[in-house]
Amino acid sequence: MLDEVTNTSKLFDQARERLSLAAEYLTIDPDVLQKLRYPKETLSVCLLVRMDDGSRRSFKAFRCRYDDTRGPTKGGIRYHPAVNIDEVMTLAFLMTFKCAVANLPYGGAKGGISVDANQLSRSELERLSRAYVKAFAHFIGPERDIPAPDMYTNSMVMGWMADEYSAMVGQPSPAVITGKPLELGGSLGREDATGRGGYLALRHLESDLHLVPEKSRVILQGFGNVAYHCARLLHGDGYKIVGVSDSRGAIYDPDGMDPIAIMEHKRSVGTVSGAPTNGTCKEMDNSELLEQDCDVLIPAALEGAITNQNAHKIVAKIIVELANGPVAPEADEILDKKGIIVIPDILANCGGVTVSYFEWVQNKAGFYWDLEEIHRRLESIIVPETRHVWSIKTEKQVDMRTAAYILALDRISSAIAAHGTKDYFAS
């Protein structure tokens, strides 16, 4: 239903194809698809930063606000050498639908800097982060566009950015950025929010998916903060963690492992390799781990981990996408034919943006909730929206990804139509 566009990236075209598929199940006014065809605004700048040796170095930086029909835009800022405008635009598109799936009063945005943050000193990292805010100060704002952490950014980086923005506007503005340190207006519950959201979605669907925790084996590809907290919560409920990986390798043990012990080992030596397990541990590479025997596979690393090259080798019954876009579009059809249920990223990992929303609300109110309240409120959003997506899947006989896009598109469409469409003005 969306026109072909020749000047956009393959990644963005793939995202639009998923939108087109969802639109086939709804009566959508053409005005809606026209509005969602391109981002509302995208900005690309060059940041010139003074390095520790006295030289100056330029960095490409981007920010995209895709759609703000349902509220101010929201999305992370990532620091990575491969960051480019196409990736940022696609991720902003996905954030638009993720916020709509969670029924948050936000549109979607994304930002990034093309940089290897590991090659910068701490002082250089701070100067770069503050330079980003100076360049995009007119683009962001507590009522306009609210950034958050993403790949290779953290709470301290967000604290620097919030401080720089506050200095520029002449008053404290903690609500301009989420994911800040607690001492600077951050929210409790932010650290495990994304992993906890995926955990809540999976636990809610246990009976539908015929899962019994004590008999279910879980593999997590990637073992950073998000995967660790999801593994910790699942393990505490009786699930057996049989495999984990990081960028340097993977371990698999059918007898299971304790994710807390694995994380302690990783923090000590820098990798999961060699970590203690319950039986005979096999070491392998990341791609090989995806193909091992398990009931639940949780890709929590980078995009495109599962493609048409390896999808037919996946033996898991359920995939929970804690990473953004870990299953390539061409792999979806293969997995669906195999009967593998995929809990899509725009549902499975929306816990992070939900608690970011809580932080924004608390900043604006000047009143902060305790951890128990954060967890209660997160569950009150994740559980009913997961059920909503599952109900659409069942009713329309579609996969869960399409069901999630149908739910999100319906909400966005209603908001756009509330401003008036062609039919309204023509009549």
- Please state, in angstroms and rounded to a whole number, the distance separating the CA atoms of residues 130 and 95: 24
110 is catalytic: yes
CA 43, 226, 411, 3: dihedral to nearest 10 degrees?
Answer: 50
Q: Using the 8-state DSSP alphabet, how is residue 174 labeled?
A: G
425 CB neighbour count, 10 Å cutoff: 8
- Please state, in angstroms and rounded to a whole number, the distance separating the CA atoms of residues 86 and 379: 33
- Give the DSSP per-residue string, 362-379: HHHHT----HHHHHHHHH
Catalytic option among 40, 74, 98, 110: 110
Cα→Cα distances 25→9, 17, 300, 406, 407, Å = 26, 14, 30, 7, 10
- Please state, in angstroms and rounded to a whole number, the distance separating the CA atoms of residues 405 and 398: 11
Name the strands in the sheet holding 41-50, side by side, starting at the edge strand that comes first in the sequence.
41-50, 56-67, 107-113, 73-79, 145-149
Q: Using the 8-state DSSP alphabet, how is residue 226 labeled?
A: H
Active site residues: 110
